A and B are shown apart, each in its own frame.
Chain A
């Protein structure tokens, strides 16, 4: 028998195992990484206790799940098999709808029962919370307007609202339909006179007429091109609200292009080898028109990820003098000074801004402000006397923020008292005023 080919295969097998081992340990070959965010698993510490109780082995295996050799290839291969053969994914954030349309699970849930159930199953309780939030926002709007800061809500339709025809049949959500934040807020904002811009009816009417997709089969956010046209309208809205001339943006003709983030953001999470959507993607280019008479306002955006799509398509630096993005009122982007909302000088930020946009899609509206409304309200409104904070108190609050040592001590006190920093700042400021009055 000719053993040569067998010997060659044996050697190749051993070499493959060596490569597998070396790649697992040292990762010399860098591969196209898998898409999406996940909580990283840290390498566990090896201790006698962790080894003997088995926790080290368990944690190390879990750690290796995220860093084994050629993970990217093997996971893409298996995911492709799941998708091709079963139209299935292990990604728990995504539901596969009709005609291979992809939806984030939360959108499906909101459609069939409402996101209210993430808070409570009691509709009255939910309505009370929404109502309080709306009322606070209304008072905040009045106070801020006196400082020439205009706060408004930008309500963006979710994919489930505009493309319900491809939603998967409901097999998961069995609560009776609860309160939808969008319906509640829209009505209440009208009653209270809260500033808002609502793209739900606009998108619904444009769905049949627009010559570009408002949402793509493979993405969860509004399409780049839809967001571009929408933001043009938002800028005009801001002009009216603030009574100022903001630079115009020229929006070009639509053209086909290679898919860009976030038009296939859900598909990216599948981590497949081949694309799902074989259709065309459309884009448009924008150009800020120079206008010496226009002002460059400061815009603070607080909200969900729909703002990213705007930021991808506009030269925001050419329109706004500052445009910090307080992502879910937590991490701050597009701001050189701050990384987190816990560090900002809130008084200065609120009063120096020209516009504060609460930017939420219909699904995320149930957590409108992500605590911002409460925090700002605590600083600017005195619940005890049911009136805006006095200028003296606000001045003390500003001093607390400006003095980093003082501010840090207040932050620690807030953590100890388990209240928000803003509440603690307000309490301390009021205490100082009371002490000085006595």
Chain B
């Protein structure tokens, strides 16, 4: 189930909110648990038992790990818990990819392909796997105590707002809120507004732009003129951001409604002055995970420069692979890793010299080129497309204007860069984080209600094409 669907907005969410707030506080985790299971089972009924099974196994392994005094056994439990989580991730997410590559390789030597039934990917596996890893490692490191109640742990892993697309919430971030959380009506309203902002980003911006992007990329990329290519990739850059950031907003908003404080996932990433900064602003919870659980254990910065560059590359290759089991994601990760290494090698100093605006523009262009690799799975096509970007062939460029697409794209660009300016940042903070007085709260609430109705219209008007009379 996705948030931007009728089933979620009209059935699941109202029913959940009613049950959640009617229920006494001490039972609310059970309400979350029940609804989260329904939420996941509705989208992937085949995998619910797998998710529950691996979660329960992890819970008891961590409990056993914490109980034992023997350091060897502790390590073993920790390793076992991680292997279970990662093993399932590797199997479900990468088995097809690995097999395809093995078959391609052995095919070169004339061997017959190895056959295996296609493995289906459980939704959200990348996110809940990482969450369970944070739990295992943080507990192993002694950063926190393990959960006492199994149901609380399942709530942490399976809580529906962040189950499918994050943010990746570290156990230590919400441990206390799972056990005991404060409810405030102003936070409920803030959460509601945040949810609607996210919904609007997804439906009114990302989906509108995405519809056109799909059409543009379905054409022959080899003959695409450079103007169209740049518009296409700029549009996709906005689509991806507003889609993902919108989903994160919805998750954070729902969390607030329920009394949780999930970490922020985006901080105006396209305002970054370098790719290094970009990764501190884009999918921040993934960045934090990679830093804390991969980069630092590999040695981080506290090693030789060569080793550090190597570490960076490894982190970004794996980060790329985490996004999807395909070579384009690996190349995309390597591409970002390359820029990070180059920035450490001196490019960053160049950015500092040229100043804020040029470096933001360069970083934005680099990110856009990266998204081309990310979006176009066929690498030949991806490089053809990038070739068209830099062919600077505008001879056949014409804007076949879909006013809605271009207006939405401009709005998306404006919002993406608004926080570069002080007034924009102020406005953003006011909408997202500031506690308002009564009038401000009421105004925002009214706007949110209006936007909800509007989003429902947008969600369902597209494709609604009645005709005058039936024809035969």
Candidates A25, A37, A308, A327; contact of B467 at CB < 8 Å: A37
Most chain-B CB neighbours within 10 Å: which of A75, A78, A92? A78
Please judge, given known A-B contacts A21-B18, A91-B465, whether A7 and B46 are in contact too, CB under 8 Å: no
Please judge, given known A-B contacts A6-B189, A65-B6, whether A37 and B456 are in contact too, CB under 8 Å: no
Q: Are A75 and B461 in contact (CB under 8 A)?
A: yes
Interface of A is mostly: helix
Q: Are A13 and B189 in contact (CB under 8 A)?
A: yes
Q: Are B189 and A61 in contact (CB under 8 A)?
A: no
CA distance A93 to B189 in the complex (A): 42
CB closest chain-A residue, reference B44: A54
- Residues on B with beta carbons closer than 8 Å to the beta carbon of A36: 466-468
CA distance A79 to B21 in the complex (A): 35
CA distance A6 to B444 in the complex (A): 12
CB closest chain-A residue, reference B20: A14
- Residues on B with beta carbons closer than 8 Å to the beta carbon of A329: 472
Q: C-beta contact mask, A12-31 vs B, less than 8 Å → 1, else 0?
A: 01101110110011000000
| Listed stretches B72-80, B377-385, B400-408, B417-425; interface member | B400-408
- A35 CB–B CB distance under 8 Å: yes
- A425 CB–B CB distance under 8 Å: no
Q: Are A70 and B453 in contact (CB under 8 A)?
A: yes
Number of A interface residues in the complex (CB < 8 A): 67
- Residues on B with beta carbons closer than 8 Å to the beta carbon of A64: 6-7, 10
CA distance A68 to B5 in the complex (A): 11
- Residues on A with beta carbons closer than 8 Å to the beta carbon of B188: 6, 10, 13
Number of B interface residues in the complex (CB < 8 A): 50
Q: Are B185 and A78 in contact (CB under 8 A)?
A: no
- A57 CB–B CB distance under 8 Å: yes
Interface of B is mostly: helix
- B445 CB–A CB distance under 8 Å: yes
- Residues on A with beta carbons closer than 8 Å to the beta carbon of B109: none
- B350 CB–A CB distance under 8 Å: no
Q: Are B407 and A86 in contact (CB under 8 A)?
A: yes
Looking at the assembled complex, report how far the CB atom of B194 sits from the nearest CB atom of chain A, in whole angstroms: 13
Q: Are A21 and B10 in contact (CB under 8 A)?
A: yes
Please judge, given known A-B contacts A10-B188, A24-B11, A64-B6, whether A78 and B461 are in contact too, CB under 8 Å: yes
Most chain-B CB neighbours within 10 Å: which of A38, A74, A82, A85? A74
- A236 CB–B CB distance under 8 Å: no
Q: C-beta contact mask, A35-65 vs B, less than 8 Å → 1, else 0?
A: 1111000000000000110000100110011
Candidates B1, B400, B471; contact of A171 at CB < 8 Å: B400
CB closest chain-B residue, reference A16: B449
Candidates A2, A20, A35; contact of B466 at CB < 8 Å: A35
- Residues on B with beta carbons closer than 8 Å to the beta carbon of A37: 466-470
- B13 CB–A CB distance under 8 Å: yes
Q: C-beta contact mask, A257-280 vs B, less than 8 Å → 1, else 0?
A: 000001001101101000000000
**10 CB < 8 A contacts A-B:** A2-B438, A7-B185, A38-B467, A70-B453, A82-B461, A87-B403, A88-B404, A90-B462, A104-B468, A269-B466
Residues of A at the B interface (CB closer than 8 Å) are: 1-3, 5-7, 9-10, 13-14, 16-18, 20-21, 24-25, 34-38, 51-52, 57, 60-61, 64-65, 68-71, 73-79, 81-82, 85-88, 90-93, 104, 171, 220, 262, 265-266, 268-269, 271, 305, 308, 327-331, 370
Contacts A6-B188, A91-B466, A92-B465 known; 9 new A-B pairs at CB < 8 A: A6-B441, A14-B17, A18-B18, A21-B10, A35-B466, A74-B461, A262-B468, A268-B468, A269-B468
